[in-house]
């Protein structure tokens, strides 16, 4: 029986703000999917209204309550998965636009993005506890990695939370060093290894991680990369050696062979 990944973060890196971070390319293709049954006019009106209310909440200089913000969205009959896969990324995108247009300062955007990430943390915590009670055979073990020379934590933690909502077991490593990655491979077997990347400068490190995985694991699981970097580097897949480079989370999951659950990891 294989060992399953636990639900811990090996790094508590604080969210750092930079313009590319707020585009949250990993989830862009899922924005507004919650409203698919409504007319286009109703969809735009409801989305704009809720995004504006969330922007006001996370920008309030007097303070912020993540649970109160979540309750505000739930009161509009939004399920949690749509909050995290639609409204939080869309709100982050609006933050980036306001920064680009000099409507918000660096400090204001940093604080607001940290508050969005706090909402992700609250949601993800609930789902992790629920998944811990499930049988291991019902879960996929996913290792999600963001390199130490990258810092798009909001997008990465949102992906982790979405995976946990779907019932998968996720080990998230933020600001991962080569030692962190090697240690993670020695400790557990994973059905899928994912790299979240925003900056081309991080591609070299990911290539090193991929090389280590391929040379130290028998029956290597799918190695997949996503993130904003895919809009900036057309050869990201070739430069890193991953099996797939995509921002379509469902496509990434389709590559995962569930028969790998029973395989054992053999690492150096």
Among residues 56, 41, 40, 54, the alpha carbon closest in space to that of 87 is found at 54
Is 118 inside a domain boundary?
yes
My answer on whether 112 and 140 are in the same domain is no
Which pLDDT belongs to residue 164?
Answer: 86
My answer on whether 237 and 151 are in the same domain is yes
My answer on whether 73 and 28 are in the same domain is yes
My answer on whether 82 and 183 are in the same domain is no
My answer on whether 140 and 248 are in the same domain is yes
My answer on whether 186 and 74 are in the same domain is no
Distance CA 261, CA 102 (A): 49
| Distant-in-sequence, close-in-space partners of 183: CB < 8 Å, separation ≥ 6 | none
Interaxial angle between packed helices 66-74 and 40-58, expressed in degrees from 0 to 180 and rounded to the nearest 10 = 160
Which pLDDT belongs to residue 199?
Answer: 87
My answer on whether 61 and 155 are in the same domain is no
My answer on whether 155 and 253 are in the same domain is yes
Is 256 inside a domain boundary?
yes
| Distant-in-sequence, close-in-space partners of 100: CB < 8 Å, separation ≥ 6 | 19
Which pLDDT belongs to residue 183?
Answer: 95
Is 12 inside a domain boundary?
no
Q: Which two tokens stand for residue 168?
A: 């998968």
Q: Which two tokens stand for residue 199?
A: 């900056």
Residue 142 maps to which CATH number? 3.40.50.280
Quickly count: other Cβ atoms within 10 Å of residue 202's Cβ.
23
Q: Give pLDDT tens digits along the chain (268 positions).
A: 344 444 444 444 444 433 344 333 333 334 333 334 433 433 444 478 899 999 999 999 999 999 999 999 999 989 888 898 888 888 988 888 898 888 999 899 989 999 999 999 888 776 666 655 555 555 789 999 999 878 778 888 888 888 888 888 899 999 999 999 999 999 998 999 999 998 899 999 999 999 999 999 988 999 999 988 888 888 999 999 999 999 888 888 887 754 444 443 333 3
Number of domains observed in the structure of the chain: 2
- Can you point out the beta strands (E) in 116-180? 141-147, 169-176
My answer on whether 66 and 120 are in the same domain is yes
My answer on whether 141 and 249 are in the same domain is yes
Is 1 inside a domain boundary?
no
Which of 130, 151, 183 is the C-terminal boundary of a domain?
A: 130
Which of 74, 105, 130 is the C-terminal boundary of a domain?
A: 130
My answer on whether 46 and 90 are in the same domain is yes
Which pLDDT belongs to residue 59?
Answer: 95
Q: Calculate ∠ Cα 113-184-129, nearest 5°.
A: 60
Which pLDDT belongs to residue 225?
Answer: 94
* Domain ranges, residue 69: 19-130
Is 46 inside a domain boundary?
yes
My answer on whether 30 and 94 are in the same domain is yes
Which of 130, 156, 174 is the C-terminal boundary of a domain?
A: 130
Which pLDDT belongs to residue 123?
Answer: 86
Q: Does the predicted TM-score (pTM) go above 0.75?
A: no
Is 268 inside a domain boundary?
no
């Amino acid at each position: 029986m294989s060992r399953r990944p636990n639900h811990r973060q090996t790094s508590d890196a604080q969210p750092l703000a930079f313009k590319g971070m707020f585009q949250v390319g990993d989830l862009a293709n899922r924005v507004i999917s919650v409203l698919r049954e409504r007319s286009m006019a109703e969809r735009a009106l409801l989305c704009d209204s809720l995004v504006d209310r969330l922007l006001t909440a996370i920008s309030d200089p007097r303070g912020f309550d993540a649970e109160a913000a979540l309750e505000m969205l739930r009161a509009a009959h939004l399920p949690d998965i749509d909050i995290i896969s639609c409204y939080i990324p869309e709100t982050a995108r609006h933050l980036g636009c306001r920064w680009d247009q000099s409507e918000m300062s660096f400090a204001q955007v940093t604080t607001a993005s940290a508050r969005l990430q706090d909402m992700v943390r609250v949601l993800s915590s609930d789902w992790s506890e629920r998944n811990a009670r499930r049988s291991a055979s019902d879960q996929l073990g996913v290792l999600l990695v963001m390199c130490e020379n990258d810092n798009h934590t909001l997008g990465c933690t949102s992906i982790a939370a979405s995976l946990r909502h779907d019932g998968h077991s996720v080990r998230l490593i933020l600001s991962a060093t080569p030692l962190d990655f090697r240690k993670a491979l020695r400790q557990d077997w994973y059905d899928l290894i994912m790299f979240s990347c925003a900056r081309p400068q991080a591609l070299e490190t990911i290539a090193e991680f991929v090389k280590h995985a391929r040379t130290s694991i028998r029956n290597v699981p799918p190695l997949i990369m996503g993130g904003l970097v895919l809009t900036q580097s057309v050869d990201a897949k070739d430069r890193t050696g991953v099996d797939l480079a995509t921002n379509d989370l469902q496509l990434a999951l389709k590559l995962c062979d569930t028969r790998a659950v029973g395989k054992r990891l053999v690492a150096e």
